[in-house]
Amino acid sequence: MSLVPAATRAVRLLRFLAAQAGPVSAAAIARGLDLPRSSAYQLLETLAEEGFVTHLPEERRWGLGVAAFEIGSAYLRHDPLERLARPLVARTAAQTGATAHLGVLHGADTLYLLKERPPHAPALVTGVGVRLPAHLTASGRAMLAWLPRAQVRALYPGPERFTTRTGRGPASPAELREVLALERRRGFSREDGQVTEGYTSVAATAFDHSGTPVAAIGLTLPCERPVTPGALAARARDAAAELTRRLGGRAP
């Protein structure tokens, strides 16, 4: 249990806003965080005074403020996540012969921060800085599987949010919930040809100190390679567990 519950709620609120595609109403924030509406308003007003959130009166919505951008910019200058993950990603790629990635959630997208491609491995669309729909990628689903259901529901409210690249993958909130439940129980996510025809990927999640998913390490191979998904996933899970340890995190 947190010793500073108000601070915990404030951090959860900022994380919630960061995961949205745009500003949202106070009612949606209260529902998403399971807070009384009065408590949500108090948090929003306090964070607004410090510049971390901003109110859009005409839209009756709230979004992240300039102070949140400043913190994010400072993080990019320090890039501790990438520094801690880089040797793990490189080592896992060398061990498996697969292309290894580090991805984070950016709204409903997977944003790739690192990529390590072994010699002679084919080029892939998942380069550094590339964003792909999280519900299609193994890395994205590995993280979505550990988010609160309300947060996933806010990211994917209806079928219109489900784009496709190859005609495969979940196409509705119900299908996504089913896939995420299976992958959470299994401990890793897997996609076959949902991002690129002829390629399969597995991914596992790294967590912060509160058990929140902060990144995923993914491995991609051509489907023709004689490697079982379970064996490949074990390598991804080992790397993600080590990254969790380096971050001072814990699995839920």
CATH code, residues 79-246: 3.30.450.40
pLDDT tier at 75 (50, 70, 90 boundaries)?
A: low
pLDDT above 90: percentage of residues in the chain? 56
d(CA 220, CA 199): 7
- Asked if pLDDT for residue 78 goes beyond 60, the answer is no
User: 6-62 pLDDT, tens per residue?
Assistant: 888 999 999 899 888 889 999 999 999 999 999 999 999 999 999 999 999 889 999
CB atoms within 10 A of CB 87: 13
Q: What is the arithmetic mean of pLDDT over 77-93?
A: 87
Counting Cβ atoms within 10 Å, is residue 54 exposed (0-12), middle (13-18) or buried (19+)?
A: middle
Same fold across 5-72 and 79-246: no
Per-residue confidence (pLDDT) for residue 5, from 0 to 100: 82
pLDDT at position 1 is: 44
Residues in the chain: 252
Q: What is the pLDDT of residue 3?
A: 57
Identify the CATH number of the domain defined by range 5-72: 1.10.10.10
Report the C-alpha gap between 153 and 47 in whole angstroms: 24
Q: What is the pLDDT of residues 103-149, one digit of tens each?
A: 999 888 999 999 998 777 666 767 788 889 999 999 999 999 999 99
pLDDT of residue 10: 92
- Quote the Cα angle for 91-141-164, to 5°: 115
Q: What percent of the chain has pLDDT over 70?
A: 93
Predicted confidence at residue 79, as pLDDT, reads 64
Confidence of residue 199 (pLDDT cuts 50, 70, 90): confident
Q: Tell me what pLDDT residue 125 has.
A: 67
CA-nearest of 103, 184, 88 to 137 is: 103
pLDDT at 252 over 90: no
Domain ranges of the chain: 5-72, 79-246
Distant-in-sequence, close-in-space partners of 77: CB < 8 Å, separation ≥ 6: none
* Residue 223 confidence (pLDDT): 80
Choose among 15, 60, 40: nearest CA to 154. Answer: 15
Cα separation, 173 vs 8, in Å, equals 28
**Tokens (6 digits) for 173:** 């909130």
Lowest average pLDDT, out of 91-100, 160-169, 173-182, 231-240, goes to: 160-169
